[in-house]
Structure 1
Amino acid sequence: MYELRGVTKQYQRGKETVDALRGVDLTVEDGGRLVIQGPTGGGKSTLLQMLGGLDRPTAGSVVLDGVDLATLSETKLTKVRSEKIGIIFQAFNLIPTLNAQENVETALVPLGLKAAERRERAAEALTSVGLGERLGHLPSEMSGGQQQRVAIARALVKNPKVLLADEPTGNLDESMRDEIMDVLEGLWREHGLTFIMVTHDSTLAKAAPRLATIRKGRITVTENAHAAL
């Protein structure tokens, strides 16, 4: 379970102090699904970075399973990210010189697994997202939707507890958006993941069972009793 209390993040922009997050309180239960929406610059991606241990708050606590990520050493924080948190980005972030299977394997290197186990798990992860026949293809040989599926497999191959997605459909057309969301929602149900997604897409936001809206660093959470679960 995530518990955020009083999370504030300030940046310096020249002589000006920018408040990206202002005293955010948020709880996300294990297996929960939350969509984060708001205007550009409102703090959405900053909040996701806090949840993923990619940045630290200026003040407040970001507690995952009883451990405050904000106070961990870099070594311990890296271990938590490697074992518990999978992250998907809008830009895919695949290594262009590695094929699909090799890209997915990169997520397992920090876990110290043997090469044979890495290959096997990467192949299984790609098969689970419908790319079992594309293991040897480079990113340049795949469509945008296929590349995002590789990125999803890479995030899930380490069997994380949490899946974070930052605009995962932002570079895709509407039909591919729906296809990728079907994959993500299917994996959320199958694996019991805690799934948190940032999106500008109001269609996706309206379909979410729980919506967090951020404006000027402040958060409002609403429940949608009519969302499809």
Structure 2
Amino acid sequence: MYQLTGVTKRYSRGKDTVHALTGVDLTIEDGDRLVIQGPTGGGKSTLLQMLGGLDRPSSGSVELDGVDLARLSEAKLTRVRSQNIGFVFQSFNLIPTLTAQENVETALVPLGVKASVRRERAAEALESVGLGERRGHLPGEMSGGQQQRVAIARALVKQPKVLLADEPTGNLDESMRDDIVDLLEGLWKEHGLTFVMVTHDSAIARRAPRLATIKKGRVTITDRSAA
């Protein structure tokens, strides 16, 4: 479970101070599916980075299972990310010279998983996203939707507790967008993940049981699951 208390994030931009987040209090239960929406530059990605331990708040606490990520050393924070949190980004972030199989395996290297097990788990992860027959293909030999599926497999192969997605359909057309969202929702249910996604797409936001809307650094929650 995530518990955010009084989370504030300030950036200096020249002589100005930008308040990306202002006193955010937020609880995300285990197994929740939460979509974060708001205007460009309004703090959506900043909030997701806090949840993933990729950034630290200027003040406040970001607790995951009772551990304040903001107070961990970089080494311990890296370990938490490697073991417990899967990331999916808009730009896929695949290594162009590695095959789909090899890209997925890279997530297991920091965990010390031996090579034979890495190969087996990566193959299973690619199968789960419908790319079992494309294991030997390079990213440049796949469509944008297929590359995002590889990125999703890479995020899930380490069997994380949390999946964080930052505009995962931003580079895809409408039909691919729907396929990827369907896939992510199916994997969320299948694996019992805590799933948090940032999107500017209102069609995606309407599908979420919980919606966090950020405006001027403040978060408002709409809970449709209780309806």
Q: Compute the TM-score of the two structures, normalised by the length of structure 2.
A: 0.98
**What is the alpha-carbon distance in structure 1 between the residues aligned to residue 207 and residue 182 of structure 2?**
12
Q: Secondary structure at the match of 1:7?
A: strand
- Once the two structures are TM-superposed, the CA of residue 226 in structure 1 deviates from its matched residue by 8.6
**Over residues 140-179 of structure 1, what are the superposed CA-to-partner deviations in whole Å (9 max), with x where a residue is unaligned?**
0000000000000000000000000000011111111110
**Corresponding residue for residue 128 of structure 1:** 128
**What is the alpha-carbon distance in structure 2 between the residues aligned to residue 224 and residue 189 of structure 1?**
17
Aligned length: 227
- Once the two structures are TM-superposed, the CA of residue 119 in structure 1 deviates from its matched residue by 0.8
Q: Secondary structure at the match of 1:31?
A: coil
Q: Secondary structure at the match of 2:125?
A: helix
- Once the two structures are TM-superposed, the CA of residue 94 in structure 1 deviates from its matched residue by 0.3
Residues 32-51 of structure 1: pairs in structure 2 closer than 5 A: 32-51=32-51
**Corresponding residue for residue 214 of structure 2:** 214
**Corresponding residue for residue 140 of structure 2:** 140
Amino acid at match of 1:150: V
**Corresponding residue for residue 78 of structure 2:** 78
Q: Secondary structure at the match of 1:18?
A: strand
Preserved contact between residue 90 and residue 170 of structure 1 (Cα < 8 Å): yes
**Corresponding residue for residue 17 of structure 2:** 17
**Corresponding residue for residue 175 of structure 1:** 175
- Once the two structures are TM-superposed, the CA of residue 225 in structure 1 deviates from its matched residue by 4.3
- 2:202 is the alignment partner of 1:202: yes
**Corresponding residue for residue 92 of structure 2:** 92
**What is the alpha-carbon distance in structure 2 between the residues aligned to residue 135 and residue 226 of structure 1?**
41
**What is the alpha-carbon distance in structure 1 between the residues aligned to residue 197 and residue 225 of structure 2?**
18
**What is the alpha-carbon distance in structure 1 between the residues aligned to residue 206 and residue 191 of structure 2?**
23
Amino acid at match of 1:80: V
Q: Secondary structure at the match of 2:107?
A: helix
Amino acid at match of 2:47: L
- Once the two structures are TM-superposed, the CA of residue 32 in structure 1 deviates from its matched residue by 0.4
Deviates more, 1:195-204 or 1:12-21: 12-21
- Once the two structures are TM-superposed, the CA of residue 224 in structure 1 deviates from its matched residue by 1.5
**What is the alpha-carbon distance in structure 1 between the residues aligned to residue 66 and residue 224 of structure 2?**
28
**Over residues 111-152 of structure 1, what are the superposed CA-to-partner deviations in whole Å (9 max), with x where a residue is unaligned?**
011111111111110000000000000000000000000000
Structure 1 residues not aligned, in runs of 5+:
none
**What is the alpha-carbon distance in structure 1 between the residues aligned to residue 140 and residue 225 of structure 2?**
42
Amino acid at match of 1:224: R
Preserved contact between residue 53 and residue 70 of structure 1 (Cα < 8 Å): yes
Runs (4+) off by over 6 Å: none
**What is the alpha-carbon distance in structure 2 between the residues aligned to residue 221 and residue 84 of structure 1?**
25
Preserved contact between residue 35 and residue 205 of structure 1 (Cα < 8 Å): yes
**Corresponding residue for residue 190 of structure 2:** 190
Amino acid at match of 2:59: A
Percentage identity across aligned positions?
Answer: 81
**What is the alpha-carbon distance in structure 2 between the residues aligned to residue 215 and residue 66 of structure 1?**
27
Structure 2 residues not aligned, in runs of 5+:
none
Q: CA RMSD in A?
A: 1.0
Q: Compute the TM-score of the two structures, normalised by the length of structure 1.
A: 0.98
Amino acid at match of 1:218: R
Distance 1:225-1:117 versus aligned 2 partners, 3 A rule: closer
- Once the two structures are TM-superposed, the CA of residue 68 in structure 1 deviates from its matched residue by 0.4
Q: Secondary structure at the match of 2:19?
A: strand
**What is the alpha-carbon distance in structure 2 between the residues aligned to residue 47 and residue 95 of structure 1?**
26
Residues 63-74 of structure 1: pairs in structure 2 closer than 5 A: 63-74=63-74
